[in-house]
Chains A and B, each alone.
Chain A
Amino acid sequence: MRHFKMVAATLAVSALAVLGSAGTASAKTQIQWWHAMGGALGERVEEITANFNRSQSEYELISTFKGNYSETMTAGIAAFRAGKQPHILQVFEVGTATMMAAKGAIKPVYELMAEAGVPFNTGDYLGAVAGYYTTTDGKMLSMPFNSSTPIIFYNKEAFKKAGLDPNKPPKTWPEVGEYGAKIVAAGYPCGFSTAWQSWVHLENFSAWHDVPFGTKENGFAGADTEFAFNGPLQVKHIQQLADWQKDKIFVYGGRRNLGNVKFTSGECGMYTESSAGYGGFKAGAKFEFGMANLPYWPDAAGAPQNTIIGGSSLWVLAGSKPEEYKGVAAFFNFLSLPMVQAYWHANTGYVPITTGAYDLMTKLKFYDDNPGRDIPILQLGAKAPTANSKGLRFGNFAQTRDVIYEELEAIWAGQKTAQQGLDAAVERGNAILRKFEKSQN
């Protein structure tokens, strides 16, 4: 009999496979939402989820944090390929073109809302935000969620020590250079640093100065677009940053927003970062800091134009049941309520996505009590967008961002001049675009 035990033990191991997948027998229709909001932002997401669930009794929204933006998108796509996709997937702005091209995998938001019979008007949403996720004929494909834009943060204490007026932030890049030199002279190891180097100093830089980042209206007018961010203005700017490193006016802090500690620790006096960095700075910095518009080059003809958004939107994936889509529509409707947006905006550094929420905040005198918090909104809407400042739409752009990071790092390290590095980035980026174009046929 003893050998039966052994066989049983082996079987038990295989039986583990069967364990665990017991679903809850609830009458409510469950809606799965995979998001990329960690830390305090994740707590806000949980609160919104809980509020939506309290607001009605038909649907149960379940939100799951799937890691950073790339991880979340990969998890969603892998799940789609396996037929186990969530209803809602949060995708960062650089994944937009990839998602748009995936017809058959996505359910456009305008279609979803129409089918569910939920009133929906693209015009209710902030132009700079909605435009990014809308087709050229005005149909919204994904639901804007967290949108931000780069601004400059500055350490008021450092400004005082450097003999600068803490209420007079730099307006232009030459001023950043001048102030940076004074801050370094006052004993700080670094004048200015940045997060999101590609997004701030190339993507937004191009929009802000009304120069093309790519051809074909930055990809909006066709997938046969090519990159153009190696123009004279971009080269001049990047070269200037590289040159400033000699005097520590500019110090490189790492990819994404890894350099944020350079600002919170007081090492750098000025820092360009997404407006969404506000919450982290508020929590981490021991000094008073101010916010201002992204600087520009005064000799550039088009500047300042308007900046573009970053952040992400919510995509609805294809392949679910109609009643579940109704639940998604109900949630999107809830999410667009001025109250909900006002809450999200007030508690994070993101901009509200509807004009209604912005009006509500203005009426509540939020911006009088919190000076500077409306800077991103005003900057996004500074002028009517041009072909260069609507946004970006490039396939596999996440991969191109990697390439840009690599080439910029080579420039900061002095291995390449700005011209050489940006030329190389454009060339490698174009190869990625062609590959993407090919995979679409």
Chain B
Amino acid sequence: MVGARPWLNILTHVILILGVLIVAFPIYVTFVASSHELEALLQTPIPLVPGGELLNNYTAALTKGAKAVGAPVGVMMLNSLVMALGIAFGKIAISIIAAFAIVYFRFRFRMTAFWMIFITLMLPVEVRILPTYKVVADLGMLDTYGGLIIPLIASATATFMFRQVFLTVPDELAEAARIDGAGPLRFFWDVLLPISRTNIAALFVILFIYGWNQYLWPLLITTDESLYTILIGINRMLAAGDDQAEWQIIMATTMLAMLPPVLVVVSMQRLFVKGLVETEK
């Protein structure tokens, strides 16, 4: 192997471990903070070793939430999950069929459709949030899962990714399908879907995180506590106004809010990497 010098190897590991520690440090502090009582967090310096309130804080967060947020963390996690899954599946479903139409059919307005989808890349949510809110309100979708999910499921990147995948599928396969008398939907279902399976899974990981981490949109359109997502919960806890924020609960909630997306990324690492590389290509 190239340049295999023992001291260099050790140095390399030291650097990497240092990097890992620096990256992990904020999480460690958050974890420690979530294991103390509030008073300990209002003194300088705050403790750096875990305290004894871990179980209490997490139970309190999960079952009651912070004061007056109105929803326990458990419910909010469930809503985040519904939203993340809805966005991930919704985006994949409508993108893959749109890409199928664009690649395998010739029809009027094909390029118009293509460009229309392309334009969504250029319209970040901050730019159009208030008018979008009005649309959702007019459709009676405020305070519904539909309102949380549907406005976010149009996706140019996913459509383009599937377009790329389909373009690499050999033409002979479609030719053979046609000779066998299989219709386009049968071809889609029997050939294209199986071919795209890993891409779908990879995309799922990316979109799940995207959905879970939505912040501004749910903040605006939900007034019903039973639909709050976990990030709204954190926002509400921080807005204690004239009162003292309950940092120990906020920190416990923060840890819980990070857990699902981090687990997804770490456990589906191979797909995640593939998803990133493919969608951004």
The interface of chain A, by Cβ under 8 A from chain B, is 2-3, 6, 9-10, 13-14, 16-21, 34, 36-43, 45-46, 64-69, 71, 74-75, 78-79, 81-84, 86, 148, 257, 260-261, 264-267, 274, 276-277, 279-280, 283-284, 286, 348-349
Contacts and interface: CB of A to CB of B under 8 A. Distances in A.
Interface stretch (B9-17, B25-33, B36-44, B172-180): B36-44
A66 B223 contact: yes
Contacts of B146: 16-20
Contacts of B114: none
Nearest to A82: B137
B90 A67 contact: no
A13 B240 CA distance: 37
Nearest to A92: B241
B189 interface: yes
Contact of A41 (B43, B68, B223, B246): B68
Interface of B: 38-39, 42-44, 66-70, 86, 89-90, 93-94, 97, 130, 133-134, 137-147, 149-150, 153, 185-186, 188-189, 219-220, 223-225, 227, 235-237, 239-246
B144 A65 contact: no
Given A65-B69, A264-B244, 9 more contacts: A16-B90, A20-B145, A36-B241, A37-B241, A40-B244, A43-B67, A64-B70, A65-B68, A79-B137
Nearest to A36: B241
12 contacts: A6-B97, A13-B93, A17-B141, A17-B146, A19-B145, A65-B69, A66-B223, A67-B239, A261-B42, A264-B42, A276-B242, A280-B243
B185 A75 contact: no
B224 to A, nearest CB: 8
**9 A-B pairs with least C-beta separation:** A42-B68, A82-B137, A20-B144, A17-B146, A39-B243, A39-B240, A280-B244, A3-B185, A276-B242
B67 A40 contact: yes
Contacts of B42: 261, 264-265, 284
B97 A10 contact: yes
A36 B236 CA distance: 9
A17 B221 CA distance: 14
Given A79-B137, A261-B42, A283 B244 contact: yes
Contacts, number: 159
B66 A39 contact: yes
A284 B244 contact: yes
Contact of A81 (B69, B134, B237): B134
Contacts of A260: 244
Given A3-B186, A39-B240, A10 B67 contact: no
B44 to A, nearest CB: 5
Interface of A: prevailing SS: helix
A260 B42 CA distance: 10
A71 B215 CA distance: 13
Nearest to A46: B68
B69 A286 contact: no
A40 B243 contact: yes
A284 B39 CA distance: 6
A45 B68 CA distance: 9
A67 B44 contact: no
Given A13-B89, A17-B150, A279 B242 contact: yes
Contact of A67 (B143, B227, B235): B235
Nearest to A189: B44
B134 A13 contact: no
Given A19-B146, A20-B143, A41-B68, A68 B242 contact: no
Nearest to B137: A82
Contact of B145 (A16, A74, A265, A277): A16
Contact of B189 (A6, A82, A348): A6
Contacts of A14: 150
Contact of A78 (B66, B133, B186): B133
A257 B240 CA distance: 10
A258 to B, nearest CB: 10
Nearest to A42: B68
A2 B244 CA distance: 58
Contacts of B153: 13
Given A20-B143, A66-B223, A67-B235, A39 B67 contact: yes
